[in-house]
Amino acid sequence: MEQTTQRVAVVTGGSGGIGGAVARRLAADGMAVVVHYAGSAGRAEEVVASITRAGGTAVALPGDVADEAPMTALFDETERRFGGIDVVVNTAGIMLLAPVAEMDLDAFDRMHRVNVRGAFVVAQLAARRLRAGGALVNFSTSVIRLQQPTYAAYAATKGAVEAMTLILARELRGRDITVNAVAPGPTATPLFLDGKSEELIGHIAAAAPLERLGTPEDIAESVAFLAGPGGRWINGQVLYANGGIA
């Protein structure tokens, strides 16, 4: 086992736009970072390489977030390499949109498997493994407040994540572990921008009082606050990181 005095973070979905930004931001704070991925090994390795080039410590590890066996193996490997786990950030998720009347139920089940069961599996492991002084940061969405058509099934998954987040914060009484969620608004990731016209993107950006889209780095700053020393008195909360859009 490689001994280290560094804090150690696991970022699920670390190969994604927001997940990668979170991984790089936590590494900039001096944490050793495990960049989790499911199907995007190349992008995860790019995140690791960018962290390493900046003088940080990172490794990419795979796993299906909804399957407890590979995720247990990921947590085991993290502890073997770095000696423990201090921060878990659960950005992994998928978004499939359709009106309620038209939603394909197989798609509904697939999204709930990743977003709800996956979040629960990771939260369960975090609850068992996080060291004192640790933090779990889950991901919700500002759509819960915005109530936009076609987002019902997706928002339902994130409503479930908020519920488990708030309850777990209270279940971990006495452990000195915080549990919170970040709820981003529209954020300029490739996934968000894909298929949208410039006109639509401009309309969405104008909805916020700050008149722009969020960036992955904006969201990563919120996570870094909750995971760092400045966020130790924030517990059992949902932080809406959306520029005032809702």
Q: What is the pLDDT of residues 38-51, one digit of tens each?
A: 989 999 999 999 99
**Over the stretch 222-240, which tens digit does the pLDDT of each residue have?**
999 999 999 999 999 999 9
Predicted TM-score of the model (pTM): 0.95
Query: Band of the pLDDT at 246, cuts 50, 70, 90?
Result: confident
Q: Are 210 and 246 in contact (CB under 8 A)?
A: no
**Cα 2 from Cα 27, distance rounded (Å):** 17
234 φ, ψ (degrees, to nearest 5): -100, 115
- The pLDDT mean for the chain works out to 95
Asked if the model's pLDDT at residue 3 lies above 50, the reply is no
* CATH 3.40.50.720 describes domain 8-241: yes
- Average pLDDT of 165-180? 98
151 is catalytic: no
158 vs 184: CA distance, rounded Å:
11
Q: Which position among 37, 151, 154, 240 bears the catalytic label? A: 154
Rg of the chain over CA atoms, in angstroms?
17
List the end-to-end C-alpha distance of the chain, in Å, as a whole number.
Answer: 46
Tell me how far CA of residue 99 lies from CA of 20, 21, 154, in angstroms: 30, 31, 11
